[in-house]
Amino acid sequence: MTPEQLEKKVKETLRKVKLSKKERILVALSGGKDSSVTACLLKKFGYDIEGFHIDLKIGKYSKECLASVKKLCKQLDIKLHIYDIKKEMGSGMCYLRSAVQSKHKKGMLKNCAICGVIKKWILNKEARRLKAKAIATGHHLDDEVQIFMTNIFKGSPELSANSGPISRNIKNKKLVPRIKPLFYVFEDDIREFSKKQKLPVNYDKCPCAIDSYRIQVRGFINTLSRKEKENIMKNAEEVLKKLKSKGSEIQYCGLCGELSRKRICKKCELMR
């Protein structure tokens, strides 16, 4: 795919989600290629963006991610907000995660599952505090196929019900909508684009991504052709239109006040 074709695809997705150029969007920047390309394109298309990075304090990896994010924001001339997890939550992600795992049955809670819940909680809360109208993430087509298939394999397709280029089904004043400009773009094309554009990206893998079920599913998805992945996506979109999220009743967490499907939100449930 040429850079022009990729840009065209992303523009079509942005039209589909009706993203306004007048409203401030926070781009969740990890330092990796996907979120860097997301920021690069939104800026190029004239959107009002700011960067948001969660410094997870995972040793050398996090230091390199932070350096990449700082360089990117300087290059794109956008404001960067850094959330230092150690300062805000008392410890780095490795310690927080071990503390959670030691309280739960061994092997039940995977690294990425815990980290993902905590990051999602931070992102929504901080985006609201910064008065952003939307959060843009770097999720791409391969991610979405992996998530959809993981939920199918687990027998819970309804967990994908809120998926799409824009978060749907839940409307709540405390929820900042999430958009995924790269939703219809293959990961390989994003990697190629980031290299052609010479974006300051950390291509290393997170050292903690070692044991998730999704990584096993990714191995399987990587054996599929582009056509097969696209077919899964098309079918997923059709199925998801008809699905309602499980227990779609939204309430506020009794401990932190954030959105939750239960009396206590997932993050507080893990960390209390």
Interacting residue with Zn ion among 117, 268, 270, 271 (CB under 5 A)? 268
**Is residue 117 involved in binding Zn ion (CB under 5 A)?**
no
Any bridge partners for residue 52, and if so which?
28, 81
Note the helical H segments in the chain: 3-16, 33-44, 59-76, 85-89, 93-103, 111-129, 141-153, 187-196, 213-221, 226-242, 266-271
Please count the helices (runs of H) and the strands (runs of E) in the chain: 11, 7
255 part of the interface to Zn ion, by CB under 5 A:
yes
185 binding partner (options ligand SF4, Zn ion, none; Cβ < 5 to 8 Å by kind): none
Using the minimum distance from each CB to ligand SF4, give the nearer residue, 43 or 57: 57
In whole angstroms, how large is the CA radius of gyration of the chain? 18
Backbone angles phi, psi at 167, to 5 degrees: -65, 135
Select the residue interacting with ligand SF4 from 170, 209, 239, 264 (CB under 6 A). 209
Report, in Å, the least distance between residue 227 CB and ligand SF4.
28
Q: Distance between CA atoms of 227 and 173, rounded to whole angstroms?
A: 39
**Residues in contact with Zn ion, shown as a per-residue x/- string from 58 to 87 under the rule CB under 5 A:** ------------------------------
Both structure tokens of 139: 């999720």
User: Per-residue string for binding with ligand SF4, 100-129, x by CB under 6 A?
Assistant: -----------xx--xx-------------
Binding site for ligand SF4 (CB under 6 A): 56, 111-112, 115-116, 206, 208-209
